[in-house]
Amino acid sequence: MRIVALAGGVGAGKFLRGLQRIALDEGHDLTVIVNTADDIEMWGLHVSPDLDSVVYWLAGAMDRERGWGRAGETFHAREALEAGNMLPTWFAIGDRDLATHLFRTELLRKGWTLTAATASVALAFEIPWTILPMTDDRVTTMVRIRESDHLVHDVHFQDYWVRRRAEPEVRAVRFEGAVRARPAPGVLDAIGGADAVVICPSNPVVSIGPILAVPRVRDALWQRRDRAVGISPIVGGAVLAGMADRLMPVAGLEVSALGAATAYEGLLAGWVIDEADGDLAPKIEERLGIRVAVTETVMSDDEVAAAVARTALDLLG
Ligand code: FO1
C-alpha cells in the first residue's frame, strides 16, 4: 500500500513513529509531505523546522521532551554567539542540529533544490521513506499581531512563536508567497497514487494550512478524498502541544475535534478522535458526512502511536 502523510509539528512526529512501525511491519511505502512555511534564515542558515522534525522523529534522533532539535543536544555555539553579542540568539540552533543546517545550507548554496537537499538529509539519517517539502518555492507564514492600540503588524511565524512566546493577540495568519508556489516535484504524483492519505494530528492552521495553500495540492487531495483520513490534534477541547488553540479561532475554527475536522471539510473520508471527545462523534459524522473512530490518541509512546495509525488506516477499510 502507498501511504502519503501530510505533516508538521510535534503531533505529526509522534504519530509518524507509529505509522512508520506499521509501514515496516506490513511492507507499505511511505511518503511524507511536510510544511515548509515555518522556514526561516537564521545565522545565515536555512532552518526548516518541520522537515527536520520529521527526519529526527523517524530516525529516533528527536529530543522527545523538548519537542524540537536533537536528543542529547548542547548549545555551545549559541552560548558563544550570545557571549559575544554577535548574532540574535532568541532562536536556538543546537550544536548537533547545526550539522544538519550546515549540510542543507551548503547544498542549497550550490544550487540544489530543497527537495534534493531534503532527500540527502533523510539519507544521512538512514530514513527509508520519501520526505518531500510541500514546495521548493519560498512560502512564509506571517502572523498579524496586535501589540498595542497603535501597533498591529505582521511578523514571521517564528518571531511570534519563539521570540514573542505566542503572547501577543493574533489578528490574522497568511501564507506569503503561497499563490505563486508550485508543489515540489513528486508531491502531486504521490497524492494521486496514494492508497491512503493521512493528515497527521498537526495544527490545521499553520502546519497543514500552508500545504493546502500550495496551488493544486488541495485539488489533488480532493481527488483522493475517499482514501483520506485525519487524526484530531485537539483532545478534550485543548491542544497537547503548540498554539492551535490560539490560531484556530483566527481561522474561524472552533477549538474542538469537530472544529479541526471542519478545516478539512470535503477532503476526508474518516477522522480519528480521542476518547475524551467520544460524544462528538455522531455530530462530526452527521455534519461532515465522514466516518469517525474513537480511540486513545494521546501518544505517550510508539506503541500508542502505532495503534492510532492502525485505527486511522482501518477507517479506510
Ligand atoms: N522552538 C523554540 O521554542 N525555541 C527555539 O529556540 C527553537 C529553535 C529551533 C531550531 C531549529 C528547529 O528546527 C526548530 C526550533 N524550534 C524552536 C521549534 C520551532 O520553532 C517550532 O516549534 C516549529 O516551527 C513548529 O512546528
Adjacent-strand bridge partners of 12: none
pLDDT digits (tens, 9 = 90+) for 220-234: 999 999 999 999 999
- Which residue's CA is the closest to the ligand 1 atom numbered 21? 49
Ligand 1 atom nearest to CA at 203: 26
Same-domain status, 88 and 158: no
- Position 55 scores a pLDDT of 98
**Is the CB of 42 within 6 Å of ligand 1?**
no
Same-domain status, 148 and 243: no
- Position 110 scores a pLDDT of 98
* 43: CATH: 3.40.50.10680
- Position 21 scores a pLDDT of 98
Separation CA 175–CA 140 (nearest Å): 5
| Residue type, position 201, single letter | P
Distances (CA, A) of 12 to 9, 54, 55, 298: 6, 8, 11, 12
Per-position b or e across 149-163, b if 16+ CB within 10 A of its CB: eeeeebbbbbbbbbe
Half-sphere exposure of 284 (CA within 13 A, CB side): 31
Same-domain status, 228 and 162: no
- Which residue's CA is the closest to the ligand 1 atom numbered 2? 162
Using DSSP bridges, classify how beta strands 270-274 and 291-295 pair: parallel, antiparallel or unpaired: parallel
Same-domain status, 204 and 302: yes
Separation CA 126–CA 29 (nearest Å): 15
Same-domain status, 243 and 295: yes
Question: 3-state DSSP call for residue 301?
Answer: coil
- Which residue's CA is the closest to the ligand 1 atom numbered 19? 49
Closest CA relative to residue 300, chosen from 261, 274, 272: 274
* Ligand 1 midpoint to CA 100 (Å): 14
Q: Are 142 and 154 in contact (CB under 8 A)?
A: yes
Domain-terminating residue out of 148, 176, 204: 176
* Ligand 1 midpoint to CA 116 (Å): 23
Split into its structural domains, the chain has a count of 2
Same-domain status, 303 and 164: no
Range of the domain at 126: 2-136+180-315
Same-domain status, 170 and 196: no
Same-domain status, 111 and 236: yes
Same-domain status, 204 and 290: yes
Same-domain status, 202 and 79: yes
**Is the CB of 92 within 6 Å of ligand 1?**
yes
**Is the CB of 161 within 6 Å of ligand 1?**
yes
pLDDT digits (tens, 9 = 90+) for 46-103: 999 999 999 999 999 999 999 999 999 999 999 999 999 999 999 999 999 999 999 9
Return per-residue pLDDT of the chain as tens, 317 residues. 999 999 998 899 999 999 999 999 999 999 999 999 999 999 999 999 999 999 999 999 999 999 999 999 999 999 999 999 999 999 999 999 999 999 999 999 999 999 999 999 999 999 999 999 999 999 999 999 999 888 999 999 999 999 999 999 999 999 999 999 999 999 999 999 999 999 999 999 999 999 999 999 999 999 999 999 999 999 998 888 778 888 999 999 999 999 999 999 999 999 999 999 999 999 999 999 999 999 999 999 999 999 999 999 999 98
* Ligand 1 midpoint to CA 170 (Å): 19
Same-domain status, 184 and 161: no
As a whole number of angstroms, the longest Cα–Cα distance in the chain is 60
**Is the CB of 68 within 6 Å of ligand 1?**
yes
Same-domain status, 151 and 223: no
**Is the CB of 8 within 6 Å of ligand 1?**
yes
Separation CA 301–CA 305 (nearest Å): 6
Q: Which of 47, 91, 100 to mutate to test the pocket of ligand 1 (most atoms within 8 A of CB)?
A: 91
Q: Specify the residue for cell string 547544498.
A: 107
